[in-house]
Structure 1
């Protein structure tokens, strides 16, 4: 659940703080009031791209910050995998400057964009007219399948863990096989050139 969102220097917003209560929240307003801008800011917290035209004042940083209450065990597990500290809540903050630089923090720890994108899949669901596009996102589909299996099969976690171990072992063996193939290919080429040299030597001896 999202607890609050803070928006500074973004689009038409100079500074805005919205606190959400438990239950259902509706944001209403006339066209141009900024409803879509708030949704755009939320999307930035989930890893979407920031466009330079969204600076209200290009001389100042644009800051988007969101505080979320953790109720998803899958999310807690992912935070642990990335060595990110958390309690019952997490704070995600993105900072942008006009020169093109940006920073991402989760509970004041700097993270990369790909980490934020992976974590956000277990944090917020945005249902829109284009939400069916998620069906083309492999990460979303895998997470959806994992969540279904986790609630349907009691021993799924142990099976998944065994599979990951075997898969990593398979990748290591495959890499070793590819290395061997390269060495064999090099040996074949070496024999080929040796044969050519021997033939040249024989021709040279015949001519002499």
Structure 2
């Protein structure tokens, strides 16, 4: 129920406060007295589209605020789900400025216009020619019909809802357990496949070290070839006039540059050095 309406700088209204009492409230007046402006201000408050033309001439903004008494559990629950604390009263406020920007608030908290529209469905219904909004909304027909059936139907619906939610919870648990079982089976298949791959690879101890050594030899193949060729020429094909001792020494130096890549090369280096002793 709308308890109070505050309007400022809206169309022809500079500032106005209206209090509404329980029961039937009537606003009367001649044509042009401003009744439609009051309806427009309420429409603006609940999220209808308006532009800056509604701002009173000479003013920077238009402002409308409404205080509502709420007892509908559905809207109270909806507000709490969206982080808005409520008691028995709800304050809606909306403002538009000359930049055509509007600000909406619910209990002092800034919200979107779409949120204002959503909660306004449970607060107020504006009826005019061809504007019987809730009566023409198919989604509300069941709610309207149920409201005539009293507390007995509400108790039955609450009981049904409780059981339905329990069933849905159980179904989710079953689905989760099935998914866990499927995950377990997929994991078993993957591990079996990986074990088979390891078995098929026929791995052996020291294989990694051997492969690492082969990789190093291949990476340094050019250097190994060059040093071996140099050592060979020093010993067997030297055209330089130097002693055998110097030739073998030079060959040992060349071998020393590549002995780290292969143990066989290291053995050759050591045997060549032994020939000098």
TM-score under structure 2 length normalisation: 0.53
Structure with a larger share of its residues in helix: 2
Report whether the alignment pairs 1:123 with 2:102.
Answer: no
Q: Aligned residues, how many? A: 164
Report whether the alignment pairs 1:142 with 2:126.
Answer: no
**For residue 12 of structure 1, what is the aligned residue in structure 2?**
12
Alpha-carbon distance between aligned partners in 1 of 2:95 and 2:169, rounded to the nearest angstrom: 38
Contact 1:58/1:98 (8 A) holds in 2 = no
Contact 2:135/2:141 (8 A) holds in 1 = no
Deviations 1:21-61 (A, max 9, x none): 11111000111111111111111121101122211135421
Unaligned stretches of 5+ residues in structure 2: 148-152, 173-277
Contact 1:62/1:95 (8 A) holds in 2 = yes
Contact 2:126/2:133 (8 A) holds in 1 = no
Alignment of 1:1-208 (within 5 A): 1-57=1-57, 59-132=59-132, 134=134, 137=137, 141-146=138-143, 148=146, 151=154, 153-158=157-162, 161=165
RMSD (CA atoms): 2.7
SS at match of 1:65: strand
Unaligned stretches of 5+ residues in structure 1: 170-208
> What stretches of structure 1 move > 6 A for 4+ residues in a row?
162-166
SS at match of 1:110: strand
- Aligned pair in 2 of structure 1 residues 55, 163: CA closer, same or farther (>3 Å)? farther
Deviations 1:55-84 (A, max 9, x none): 113542110000001121222111112111
Alpha-carbon distance between aligned partners in 1 of 2:165 and 2:66, rounded to the nearest angstrom: 32
Contact 1:5/1:19 (8 A) holds in 2 = yes
